[in-house]
Amino acid sequence: MTANKEWILVLDFGGQYNQLIARRVRECSVYCEIRPYNKITPGEIRKLAPSGIIFTGGPNSVYGEGAPQTDPEIFSLGIPVLGICYGAQLMAYQLGGQVTTPETREYGKTETIFEQDCPLFRDLPRQGITWMSHTDYIERLPEGFQVTAYTMDCPSAAMQRLERKLYGVQFHPEVLHTENGTQMLQNFLYTVCGCTGDWTMRRYAEAAVQELREKIGNGRVLLALSGGVDSSVCAALLAKAVGSQLTCIFVDTGLMRKNEGDEVEAAFAQWDISFVRVNAGERFLSRLAGVEEPERKRKIIGEEFIRVFEAEAKKLGQVDFLAQGTIYPDVVESGLGDAAVIKSHHNVGGLPDHVDFKEIVEPLRLLFKDEVRALGRELKLSEVLVSRQPFPGPGLAIRVLGEVTPEKVALVQEADAIFREEIARAGLDGSIHQYFAVLTSLRSVGVMGDERTYDYTVALRGVTTTDFMTADFARIPYEVLERASSRIVNEVKHVNRVVYDVTTKPPATIEWE
Ligand code: XMP
């Protein structure tokens, strides 16, 4: 919990949009936390005194065996409740209404009529599109409730019991397809719950610095800095809080993008922290010599990373805290385990076992990715780091197909740098979520001047995605591809062909290995 007075409790009933609801609430400048529906009692809620409660949707039917339920006392705490989809059905059911499975389910964009005065829909049009995704519906409202919206198939698309501040909506206001959905949530937060919107990154940064100072005292903190957004912002926050008590170990694997190691070092040169850069490129490359199999490469890099990190950490002797850049989606997905969640670090393949520390600190564990970036900007962290696109821990080793050699790494670095330059020059860097060059290790015949060539093919990849689980290939204009291609074959030795990857994920993955 942060020290925010205003906050919203999002009770999670297993809906696919649970994090989206939380993000929308925070976009309205109100802090919120997601808790599993069965991990908090009405007594605890009373003590924590949220300004309001939102029930998420969920895949169950309220009648189903083992369907998630709350203690109905929650409706009598005097705290406003907004139930969304399953949350609304549950509210209806637990307060004595009736929920039924009709013949047809309602799914997708649905014309909705907002017929009654309701604070949620204040100042909004009386008719509009909402996003529906439900099988059951509320057939009979509980006593004291009134219908506030309906659709052709759903007579109770929204309901309220004004004097008890209980509201339900069958549709999903958090999904952007719902017209004015964010406004409806904002109405709930500001008009019903009385929030004023005190959640800003400036205040968060101040409170987090204070908290970290209290927790860490005179202790020493160690952080493995990868140069990615999360670990960089984590470093910046700790630097502000405890300055010289922080040691960042930055393992330069030699497998980063062109100039990236230097950029990371330069970004931290201004801070009064102890920054250790380990140039381990040769070590990594010699371990990778002769290895072609992608999973093997990943494993080697993960293990080697830990070894280098541990060796360096040991030189420091006892540290008191190991810092990690765990962020809120990791916390939510791990079921909000009560103990600190140790991120099975996707980047480095595990955490050091042999580093001597007392406790873990995770100063970003309450933040979503876009909030982490906003915090980085608030802390004046270099924009190069704040807006960095995702980069895999094994780095360019998985963008050189097959065996990795220093020459091939240098080659893909050059091609990648040119591609990135051209994307930036075309102003596309904000809209393409990840883009890079791959050295395919395939050689083909070409002609340059009067000479026949037999050289490498570089593949360019650009994707748009919301969560990196699925992705579409980016529709990069031909002119931009043309410039990148022509520069790459002209400026990068031993490349005579450039192709653009036009597969989606699935069936392809974003990376080639
Ligand atoms: P794929 O290739 O699985 O990639 O579609 C999805 C996203 O994950 C990134 N990625 C990694 N990130 N360590 C990481 O930290 C890895 O081993 C790794 N492999 C893939 C990839 O860049 C993309 O953003």
Instruction: For ligand 1, say whether the CB of 231 is within 6 Å of any of its atoms.
Output: no
Q: Are 396 and 409 in contact (CB under 8 A)?
A: yes
List strands edge to edge, sheet with 221-225.
274-279, 246-252, 221-225, 321-323, 359-361
C-alpha distance from residue 89 to each of 36, 37, 58, 399 (Å): 17, 15, 10, 49
Integer Cα distance of 19 and 17 in angstroms: 6
Closest atom, ligand 1, to C-alpha of 511: 2
Query: Which pLDDT does position 1 carry in this prediction?
Result: 54
Atom of ligand 1 nearest to the CA of 347: 15
Question: Ligand 1 in contact with 510 (CB < 6 A)?
Answer: yes
Q: Which residue has the tokens 């719950």?
A: 193
Report the mean per-residue pLDDT for the chain.
93
The DSSP line for 312-358 is HHHHH---SEEE----HHHHHHTTT-SSPP----TTTTS--SS---S
CA of 382 relative to ligand 1 center, distance in Å: 24
Residue 478's CB is within 10 A of a number of other CB atoms, namely: 10
Q: How confident is the model at residue 212 (pLDDT cuts 50, 70, 90)?
A: very high
Confidence label for 357 from pLDDT (cuts 50, 70 and 90):
confident
Q: How high is the pLDDT of residue 224?
A: 93
Exposed e or buried b per residue across 375-402, where buried means at least 16 C-beta atoms within 10 angstroms of its C-beta: bbebbebbeebbebeebbbbbbbbbbbb
Q: What is the pTM of this model?
A: 0.83
Is residue 356's pLDDT more than 90?
Answer: no
CB atoms within 10 A of CB 317: 8
471 CA: nearest ligand 1 atom: 5
Ligand 1 nearest atom to the CA of residue 505, by list position = 5
Q: 336 pLDDT exceeds 70?
A: no
CA distance 476 to 428: 8
pLDDT at 455: 98
pLDDT in tens, 428-479: 999 999 999 999 989 999 998 899 999 999 999 999 998 888 899 999 999 9
pLDDT at residue number 89: 98
The protein residue whose alpha carbon is closest to atom 22 in ligand 1 is: 392
Q: How far is CA 271 from the centre of its chain?
A: 26
Report how far apart, in Å, the C-alpha atoms of 363 and of each of 24, 74, 366, 415 are. 22, 31, 8, 36
Q: Is 325 in the pocket of ligand 1 (CB under 6 A)?
A: no
pLDDT band at residue 3 using 50, 70 and 90 as cut-offs = low
Tell me the CA–centroid distance for residue 398 and ligand 1, in Å. 10
- The residue to mutate among 468, 469, 473, 503, having the most atoms of ligand 1 within 8 angstroms of its beta carbon, is 468
pLDDT (tens digit, 9 = 90+) per residue, 292-329?
999 999 999 999 999 999 999 999 988 999 999 999 88
Higher-confidence residue of 467 and 291: namely 291
How many other CB atoms sit within 10 Å of the CB of residue 209? 17
511 lines ligand 1 (CB under 6 A): yes
**pLDDT > 90: percent of the chain:** 86
For atom 3 of ligand 1, the residue with the nearest CA is 509
- Residue 284: CB partners within 8 Å, gap ≥ 6? 253, 254, 255, 301, 304, 397
Nearest residue to 212 via CA among 179, 238, 233: 238
- The tokens 């406003």 sit on which residue? 80
> Which residues are catalytically annotated?
85, 172, 174
| Closest C-alpha among 45, 60, 75 to residue 143 | 75
83 lines ligand 1 (CB under 6 A): no
Supply the residue whose CA is at minimum distance from atom 19 of ligand 1: 392
Tell me how far apart the alpha carbons of residues 68 and 56 are, in angstroms, rounded to a whole number. 11
Decide: helix, strand or coil at residue 66.
Answer: coil
Which conformational region is residue 289 in: left (phi greater than 0), alpha (psi within -120 to 50 degrees), or beta?
Answer: beta
> Could you give the CA distance from residue 318 to residue 332 in angstroms, rounded to a whole number?
31
Question: Which of helix, strand or coil describes residue 246?
Answer: strand
What sign does the CA torsion over 62, 67, 73, 78 have?
Answer: negative
pLDDT at 318: 87
Q: Is 395 in the pocket of ligand 1 (CB under 6 A)?
A: no
Shortest-distance atom of ligand 1 to CA 394: 17
The residue to mutate among 433, 511, 512, having the most atoms of ligand 1 within 8 angstroms of its beta carbon, is: 511
Residue in 489, 493, 467, 327 with CA at minimum distance from that of residue 408: 493
**DSSP-assigned states of every residue in 124-160:** S-SEEEEEEEES-EEEEPPTT-EEEEE-SS-TTSEEE
> What is the Å distance from ligand 1's center to 218 Cα?
37
Ligand 1 near 409 CB (within 6 A): no
Give the confidence band of 349 by pLDDT, cuts at 50, 70, 90: very low
Q: Is 298 in the pocket of ligand 1 (CB under 6 A)?
A: yes
Cα(511) to ligand 1 centroid in Å equals 7
Residue of the nearest CA to atom 14 in ligand 1? 392
Nearest one of 446, 440, 444 to 408, comparing CA atoms: 440
The 10s digit of each residue's pLDDT in 106-121 is 999 999 999 889 999 9
pLDDT of residue 4: 66
**Tally of CB atoms within 10 A around 141:** 21
> What b/e readout covers 455-464, taking b as 16+ CB neighbours within 10 angstroms?
bbbbbbbbbe
The residue type at 194: G
CA distance 189 to 164: 15
